[in-house]
Amino acid sequence: MSAEVPISRLWPAPSAGLDDAELTALYGRADRPHLRVNFVTSVDGAVSLDGYSAGLSGEPDKRVFGLLRMLCDGLLVAAGTLRHEGYRAVRLDAPRRAWRREHGLAEYPTLVVVSGSLDLDPAQAAFADAPVRPVVLTHAAAEAPPRLAEVAELVRCGADRVDLAAGLASCAGAAFGQVLCEGGRTLFGAFTGRRLGQRGLPPRRSLLRGGGPRGGSPRGPPAGGELSLRHVLAAGGALLLRYARDAAAPAPAPPTASS
């Protein structure tokens, strides 16, 4: 078994060999409803290699990826990404489940899928093997496939397209106030730089990593102002960058989305 690649903080306050407790403190949980966006990218903006994000990922960012899942209440993903990446049930190892119990959280975060078409397979492990019943954010006109309602809770937000602000507000109302979004690209684009809902869901965070020549990052400049760099971590050839936007910064409401 290969040795774990150490993660060090370059800025602010340089520190070598951060352990999981120190990384957890760096990313943390917010004291209000909160959206975090997490993705991997190459230095030239690619978000996939040979069509999948796994080709860009390494052990250090997978370690942070797992910690971010531990910290969230709801794990948000677009249906297209769920299908393409072959999502399995969202599970955590014993130490991370214990951390959640100690902090008054459910043992597992809830998977929240955004789907306008409801083109979802109830037999996919993400649904069929889920330790917590997943939630699907959809709209009033979408027709559910047989048996989907048996394995997931359908929440209809919007008349003919998914209203993301209403969907996230419903998550916050259902105690999923700390939301981690893992993709895909269209969903990232809808969220980037915007304040969602009535309760101030930002700031959001971004994890960026170098490597891999192909793909594309979320398009367009932030619509709600500049993001502030909060820390720079390094591990081998990877950089892990955490950005946040000032929660007081004004921003327009998000568009609707379908997937």
Element (H, E) at 147: none
| pLDDT at residue 254, as a whole number | 44
Report which of residues 2 and 244 the model is more confident about.
244
Do the domain assignments include residue 44?
Answer: yes
Average pLDDT of the residues in 8-30: 96
**What are the pLDDT digits (tens) for 223-251?**
445 779 999 999 988 899 999 877 554 44
**What are the pLDDT digits (tens) for 151-207?**
999 999 999 999 999 998 988 888 888 999 998 888 887 876 454 432 222 223 333
| pLDDT at residue 220, as a whole number | 41
Work out the burial of residue 152: count CB atoms within 10 Å of its CB; fewer than 13 is exposed, 13-18 middle, 19 or more buried: buried
Do the domain assignments include residue 57?
Answer: yes
Do the domain assignments include residue 2?
Answer: no
CATH number of the domain to which 35 belongs: 3.40.430.10
| pLDDT at residue 32, as a whole number | 87
Q: What are the C-alpha distances in Å from 259 to residues 117, 220, 238, 243?
A: 6, 19, 31, 26
Asked if residue 212 has pLDDT above 80, the reply is no
Average pLDDT of the residues in 81-94: 95
Average pLDDT of the residues in 40-45: 80
Closest by CA to 83, choosing from 142, 42, 124, is 124
Average pLDDT of the residues in 26-30: 94
Average pLDDT of the residues in 71-91: 96
User: Which of 9-23, 98-112, 203-217 has the least mean pLDDT?
Assistant: 203-217
Do the domain assignments include residue 64?
Answer: yes
Confidence of residue 130 (pLDDT cuts 50, 70, 90): very high
| pLDDT at residue 255, as a whole number | 44
What predicted TM-score, i.e. pTM, was given to this entire model? 0.83
Do the domain assignments include residue 3?
Answer: no
| pLDDT at residue 54, as a whole number | 66
Q: Where are the alpha helices (DSSP H) in the chain?
A: 20-27, 59-71, 79-84, 94-102, 125-128, 148-151, 164-173, 185-191
Mean pLDDT of the chain: 82
Domain hosting 248: range is: 8-257
Do the domain assignments include residue 1?
Answer: no
Tally DSSP H helices, then E strands, for the chain. 8, 11
Average pLDDT of the residues in 63-92: 96
- Residue 197 CA, chain-centre distance (Å), reads 17
Average pLDDT of the residues in 105-128: 97
Average pLDDT of the residues in 1-5: 69
Q: How many domains is the chain built from?
A: 1
Element (H, E) at 196: none
Report which of residues 58 and 87 the model is more confident about.
87
Q: Which long-range contacts (CB under 8 A, 24 or more apart) does 220-223 make?
A: 220/189, 220/192, 221/193, 222/192, 222/193, 223/192, 223/193, 223/194, 223/251, 223/252
Do the domain assignments include residue 26?
Answer: yes
| pLDDT at residue 164, as a whole number | 92
Do the domain assignments include residue 34?
Answer: yes
